[in-house]
Each structure stands twice: as structure tokens, then as C-alpha cells.
Structure 1
């Protein structure tokens, strides 16, 4: 099944955790996706930086949505690694994921996560790479 930005937004809206975090799809298509997450205090750790779990979630979801542009809507993460480069702070996170290569059932995807402030240049905070797989059966919705 081909996936476009409207279907991608419906899939994202069906994810309760994405709604809790406030995730939005800013760009979608041709092997690339950009997810945006507003930074608010509830997403931060004790030092005021965005919690690593939120960065990890952003990478996971961006990797999978980017893979969806190549593999279709029924895609699950097979695994990924993330490297935290510097603390994330500002007004929003921007996760940009791009398919490196894809076969009929699998895609390798790279993601860069930036922290953005209203006046400053975006700061690269983390990079991730992962593998996603298409699922041939229809996935049940919760």
C-alpha cells in the first residue's frame, strides 16, 4: 500500500504516545520524513535538557515513517542505534530521517535530530541508524 502525507498523518494521529509528546509531520515523501516535537518541561530530565528517551522515540518514529515512503504503511522497526552528541534544549526537536537503501521488505534509514531555538542555528544533538521491515499482514489498531 502506497503511503502519502495524509495517510502518514492519520497513522501518527493513531499513536497515543505521539499525541502525548506532541509529534507532528512537517515533511514527508521520496524517502525522507521530518518530524517536529515541541520542547516542553514534561519532556526534560533533571538538568532541563530533553530526555534521551524522547530523542530515542523521535529517531525510532522518524526512521519508521521514512521507511514507509519506500515500503508502505505496514512497517515496523527491526532495530536501531543512537548516538547522543550534545544535550538538546530549545523550543523544538526536528528529526530528519532518510532512507539509505531499501529492498522489497527492508530499509536502512539514517536520522539526524536537531534542537532548534527561535533565534539560533539548529544544533545537531543525536544521530541514529536503523533497519525497518515491512509486515505482510494487516496490523491491528489498538
Structure 2
């Protein structure tokens, strides 16, 4: 995997995410970025839930999609777009924080294959360094360098 250029760091990743109106609407944040990996988090609100109180699958898909793309960007550079991804819901998502952790499995010059695990973190654990994560979904996708 090619090393990410120095200018592609966590601060730039946060600026890129902040430039996405939908990400701002959801309240997403990038908490880790680099070396072919990225972590995206969002504090869960009532608006993120479906009628049974679980986090809506669309919110889980959003988190996986963006985490996949940011991880690929850490390997391919900033001009990337998701070509496609699949997601499997493992269990109903409940908790205070949604955390999507993605890493590049393979990167070429123009595309990367990336895996993502999506977790929920309980309210009691959300501020702790050793928080308890519950796996709620797994995703895999292909991201293309669009430059």
C-alpha cells in the first residue's frame, strides 16, 4: 500500500467530512484516519431510530459507506468515490454512539477493496477508553480513485 501523503491527515479528513451537508445533518465525525484505515462516529439521537427504537438501517449504511470511502482515501488519495458496497446487519443496533471502523484489504493504483465493522457503544461506555462495542453490521466495498 502506498503511504498516504503528509497533507492527508486527520485534520483534512475532518474538513472533508464537514463539507458534506448530509454528514453534518447526522452529526458524524472522523475520529481516526490514516494508513489505509478510518473510523467514523456519530452520537445517536431519536431521529436516527426506526419505529421499534433501533438505529435505522440507512444510518448504519451511511456510516459504513463513508468509513469505507475515508479508509480508501487514506490509501488512494482524496479523490475517491464508492463504486459499490454490501452490508449485512448482524443484530438490531441500540446504544449511544455508532462507530464504523474500516480498513483497506487491498489497494491498487485506481481502486481499493475495503472492509468495515459497525458497532454500537452503550451510553455508560461512550466516554471511556475501554468502551464496550457491540457489532451490529459488517460491510465490504470497492472504492475508486476518481482523479
TM-score, normalized by length of structure 1? 0.93
CA distance in 2, matches of 1:96, 1:68: 14
Could you say which residue in structure 1 is the equivalent of 2:134?
Answer: 123
Could you say which residue in structure 1 is the equivalent of 2:61?
Answer: 56
Are residues 1:133 and 2:147 paired? no
RMSD over aligned Cα, in angstroms?
A: 1.1
Deviations 1:21-63 (Å, cap 9, x if unpaired)? 0001111111111111111100000000000000000000000
4+ residue runs over 6 A deviation: none
Between the two proteins, the alignment pairs up a number of residues equal to 136
Could you say which residue in structure 1 is the equivalent of 2:73?
Answer: 68
How far did residue 118 of structure 1 move? 3.1
CA distance in 2, matches of 1:40, 1:129: 26
CA distance in 2, matches of 1:118, 1:92: 7
User: Structure 1: which 5+ runs fail to align?
Assistant: 137-142
How far did residue 97 of structure 1 move? 0.2
